[in-house]
Structure formats: structure tokens, C-alpha cells
Amino acid sequence: MSAESAARYRSVFAPGLFAGRVIVITGGGSGIGRCTAHELASLGATAVLVGRNPDKLQTTLAEIEADGGRAGVQVCDIRREETVRAMVTAVLDAHGRIDGLVNNAGGQYMTPLEKISAKGWQAVIDTNLTGGFLVARECYLQTMQARGGAVVNIVADMWGSMPGMGHSGAARAGMVSFTETAALEWAKSGVRVNAVAPGYIASSGMDHYPAEAGPHLRAMRDTVPAGRFGNEAETSAAIVFLLSPAASFISGSVLRVDGARPQVRLGWGQVAASAEAQARDAVKPFDGFHRAVTPKVFS
């Protein structure tokens, strides 16, 4: 057994917190979704991994099982309504229930607005907005309407705009509005709907950007008051909290995980925390994920 598999996820939450629960994680084969699936499984949940790439899903499934957790896999293109409907039905057939949904799947590419084609715009909207709506709606209609549940939608730091990724910013803003509306409409069924907005997170998603974006990506930490990138475990902790009973009176909210990045304004001068400040207990990185991999752009 490798040292990696011998280790365990270091969650701040109580062991067994999600025992007997089934939680669906879209985009569960990589990045924040993979990390969240590991944490939920370490806390007793059955983590159902959903995505388009079966190899990534199976790799994450094998990791979770090697660590002693329970998981399942459903290959699904969340942009297709009938496929989403069939996926939710299959999860219920296999596991008997869905207690939570992490609407994490998403994707975008870097380009200025004037160079985005209608097809490119629609592709990002379909992935980052429509797909999330379809999965949440089907979970609600097929089980949560009758049994209740918790939904966490993953959005992004789009406050103050997303230059270079305007299509994603528009979709993420739409998902925030959907979160607020669903929280109101579905409350009568005992369903809570919230969102987590990651800022600059060092995740495998950064490996999909072109090599020439590397210097820009590495320089982004200097614009964060916390003085660093966040990590996947810090994002997962926010997601797990919103799924947990401790958040039972929280719905329609967006929890930002961004080191105060949206508060940066021109004229404030150097805002990034010093290395000494970054090492202090209140703000130093939480490295809970024992299988975390540093993005290649930072290697």
C-alpha cells in the first residue's frame, strides 16, 4: 500500500457525519469535485461521481475505495435533458436515495468577448448554467420534492466581472440567481439550495489553460489580499458545511472562498499579505486532501 493510499482525508468535520447518505457530485472525476467526493466519502457518504469522462470517474472511484470509502459512478453529459433524467433515475435505482447534490461540473476557456462565437458562448452557458439547472431540477422532481435534501451549486468569483471569460461570468451570475430562486420555491419541500463561489483555487482545472497563460496565472496570487491561492480542500470544506445539518437554517446564500479577492480596488496599493502573515494560524493553508496534486502551471 502506498503512503498516499495509507493516509486519510483530514476533514474538520465529525467522523460519520454523512453516514448512510447518498450525495451526487457532478464533475466528480477531477479538481474540486474529486476533492469534495473524497471528503464526503471519508465522512461516511456514498459519493456518486458524475461526469463525461469514464476514465477520470473510475480513477477517483478507485481512490475512494482504496481509502475505505463508498462511491458510485454515472457517466452523463449534463447538457442533455434526457441523459440527466436517466442519470438521476439510475442513481436512485442503484442507491435508493439522493440526500445531496453538489452541482460542480463546469468549464470555460479564456478569450475576450469580441472573439467568442455564438457556438462558444452557448457551449459555456450550457455547461455552467443549463446543465446545473437540469441536474438540480431532476433531483428535485425525482426525489427531493418528496424527501427533502440539500443542493450546493458551484459558481465563481464573478463579482466585478470576469474579463477574459465573459461567457462564464454570465453563466455563473445566472446560477447565483437560480440558487436564490430555487431556495425560495423548493423550501416548501424541505430543500435547501446554496452556492459556493471559489476564487483563485490551485486546482487541476488550471491545467486546461494554454501554456502562454502560465505567467498570468502565477501572478494572480499578488492580487489576493490573503497573498496566495486557495486549495481544493478549503473549497470542499465550505461545500461540506452547506450540506451538513449545521447549515440547516442557511438557504439562498453564496459562500465565497476567495481570500477577499473581490474587495480589491484600484488605489489601495499592495494588498497581498506578507509571507509572515500568511503563516499565521487564522489564514495559513488548510491542506486536508491527502491526494491533492499541484497544478502543472505551478510545478
Residues 110-119, mean pLDDT to the nearest whole number: 89
CATH at 239: 3.40.50.720
Phi, psi of 230, rounded to the nearest 5 degrees: -80, 175
The continuous run of DSSP H or E covering 63 comes out as helix 54-66
Q: Is the pLDDT of residue 216 over 90?
A: no
pLDDT in tens, 151-167: 999 998 888 777 777 78
Q: Is 274 a domain residue?
A: no
DSSP codes, 261-284: GGG--TTS---SPPHHHHTSTTTS
Q: Is the pLDDT of residue 297 over 80?
A: no
Q: Is 275 a domain residue?
A: no
Residues 237-265, mean pLDDT to the nearest whole number: 94
Q: Is the pLDDT of residue 269 over 70?
A: no
Residues 58-84, mean pLDDT to the nearest whole number: 97
Q: Is 44 a domain residue?
A: yes
- The region that residue 149 occupies, defined by phi over 0 for left and psi between -120 and 50 for alpha, beta otherwise, is left
The continuous run of DSSP H or E covering 254 comes out as strand 254-257
For the chain, give the number of residues.
Answer: 299
Q: Is the pLDDT of residue 17 over 80?
A: yes
Q: Is 218 a domain residue?
A: no
Choice between 8 and 133, residue whose per-residue pLDDT is larger: 133
pLDDT band (50, 70, 90) for residue 266: low
Q: Is 31 a domain residue?
A: yes
Helix 131-139 vs helix 81-95: crossing angle, to nearest 10: 40
pLDDT score at 164: 77
Q: Is the pLDDT of residue 2 over 50?
A: no
For residue 20, give the nearest of 53, 47, 42, 44 by alpha carbon: 44
pLDDT score at 3: 44
What pTM did the predictor assign? 0.91
pLDDT score at 5: 45
By residue range, what is the domain housing residue 238?
A: 18-209+229-260
Q: Is 293 a domain residue?
A: no
Q: Lowest-pLDDT range, 38-52, 78-92, 209-223?
A: 209-223
Which positions ≥6 away from 250 have C-beta within 8 Å? 192, 194, 242
pLDDT band (50, 70, 90) for residue 182: very high
Q: Lowest-pLDDT range, 8-12, 204-208, 262-266?
A: 204-208
Q: How many domains does the chain have?
A: 1
Q: Is 268 a domain residue?
A: no
Choice between 194 and 6, residue whose per-residue pLDDT is larger: 194
Q: Is 234 a domain residue?
A: yes
Separation CA 106–CA 173 (nearest Å): 13
pLDDT score at 202: 87
CA terminus-to-terminus distance, the chain: 26
Task: Tell me if 42 sits within 8 A of 69, measured CB to CB.
Answer: yes
For residue 45, give the nearest of 75, 63, 60, 25 by alpha carbon: 25
Phi, psi of 151, rounded to the nearest 5 degrees: -120, 135
Phi, psi of 24, rounded to the nearest 5 degrees: -90, 130
Helix 31-42 vs helix 232-243: crossing angle, to nearest 10: 50
pLDDT score at 209: 65
Q: Is the pLDDT of residue 15 over 70?
A: yes
